[in-house]
Amino acid sequence: MDNKGYLDMELLRFTTAGSVDDGKSTLIGRLLYDSKSIFEDQLEAVRQAAISLGNEELNLALLTDGLRSEREQGITIDVAYRYFATPKRKFIIADTPGHTQYTRNMVTGASTADLAVILVDVRNGITEQTVRHTCIAELLKIPYIAICINKMDMVGYAQEHYERICADFNRMKEKMRIGAETHFIPISAKMGDNVVEKSDKMEWYGGLSLLQLLETVPIDHKTYTDGAVMRFPVQYVIRPISDRFHDYRAYAGRLASGRIHVGERVVVLPSGLRSTVKGIMQDETSLEVAYAPQSVSILLEDDIDVSRGDCIVAQDAAAPRIEKSFTSMCCWMGDEPLVLGKKYILRTAVSESVCMVKSIVNRLDMSAYFRHAGAEQASGREQLVTKSGTTEEISLKMNDIASIVVRTVNPLVVDSYADNHVMGSFIIIDPDSFETVGAGMIE
């Protein structure tokens, strides 16, 4: 594969999730091993690590479980990223933890994914963690979910076990109103069945192997198309002081969505000032049009005030919101609980403001949904939330996910996360420790 061909290939980002011991790390190891994406020295290192741990056979999970504590306990703790390519596509894998206590790691790893691979142990069926990971995939608006029903070799590759889990998941998906396109694949990560090649042990299964799905699933859902509304957050104002560039002023950034072309009428938000695009530069190359996610510099006809944190949008298109108060879903990541009314720092793609959380509207309760999933009265997302009452405020602790109302000191230019991932996401920083304590998705 030549270098230019590799750079021009489509990139699919996907994440793996599942309960503890469902086989996530083994699946990724098998995917890398069977697709011949492992170097000999890596394989030898895994063999030696397996021997040192007393394993009698090659443990492919060691390819992703890199921390000493992960190898000792046989679990995934941190998010492990792996890269590989086939002749059709290149891939970035985020192997995320299965423990409830590492929910924040799963949110981090899945935040840029195009597809979520959720493993289900065929012997255990749908668990609370399956509900949790599916809900997180929905909150992050991941458009495709692959349900890999693993360890089929331990039930004799029987079709009825596969069909039972498919039916259970579809009932859960309907009650949770999950919008992602779902694919079911019966696999054995340990034996390699339906991971890279189709297995001859499950002739009753007529679908694709996991790798075949990864190579063919569409990724045109991204906001890089002509039809998407243009958003250009300004990251830097370029004002060189040199004889070569007299009176030069350009605005550098990365297109968050859509396209921008020379001659386009634009509005700068939040000021509302208007101008026309005079030029588009990428390094020293002049462009007539730029597409997301290109990083470019924009020159305007008029000498107007544009600063970092402003957003350039098309004049005739739907404008983003300019808000100082908004509702968002938030995953709390801090060791200390959220304090209502405390001053935090809210940071978007390019802007920053002091903020405070005014109220917690509701909190997602996966265990409540899981307990009532089979009951007749279970209906929709109502089973997933615990309402805050007048006498008792819901607390928000590490790994909790809740709908909150945030108020900022400065007005921010935002879209809903469903419409634009870049313009609709933010992080919350504790000003005392400068640690990231929350990640939000604007509703």
Give the pLDDT band of residue 428 (cuts 50, 70, 90). very high
Evaluate whether the domain defined by 321-442 bears CATH number 3.40.50.970: no
Give the residue extent of every domain in the chain.
3-216, 231-314, 321-442
SS percent in the chain: helix, strand, coil, step 5:
25, 35, 45
Each residue's pLDDT tens digit, 3-34: 556 667 889 999 988 887 777 878 888 888 78
Q: Round the average pLDDT of the chain to a whole number and report it.
A: 83
- What is the CATH architecture of 231-314? Beta Barrel (2.40)
CATH number of 3-216: 3.40.50.300
Length of the chain: 443
Q: Which residues in 8-34 are b (16+ Cβ under 10 Å) and which e?
A: ebeebbbbbbbbbebbbbbbbbbbbbb
Give the containing element (helix H, strand E) for 424. none
Asked whether residue 200 carries a pLDDT value surpassing 60, the answer given is yes
Residues 6+ apart with CB under 8 A from 378: 175, 369, 372
Shared fold status for 3-216 and 231-314: no
Amino acid at position 150, single letter: N
Q: Per-residue pLDDT averaged across 185-202, rounded? A: 94
Each residue's pLDDT tens digit, 384-395: 444 444 334 567
Other C-beta atoms lying within 10 Å of the C-beta of residue 337:
13
Find, among 337, 153, 349, the residue nearest to 233 by Cα.
Answer: 349
Lowest average pLDDT, out of 94-108, 226-240, 341-355, goes to 94-108
Lowest average pLDDT, out of 74-78, 138-142, 419-423, goes to 74-78
Which pairing describes strands 115-121 and 11-18: parallel, antiparallel, or unpaired? parallel
pTM, to two decimals? 0.81
Find, among 137, 90, 134, 83, the residue nearest to 109 by Cα.
Answer: 137
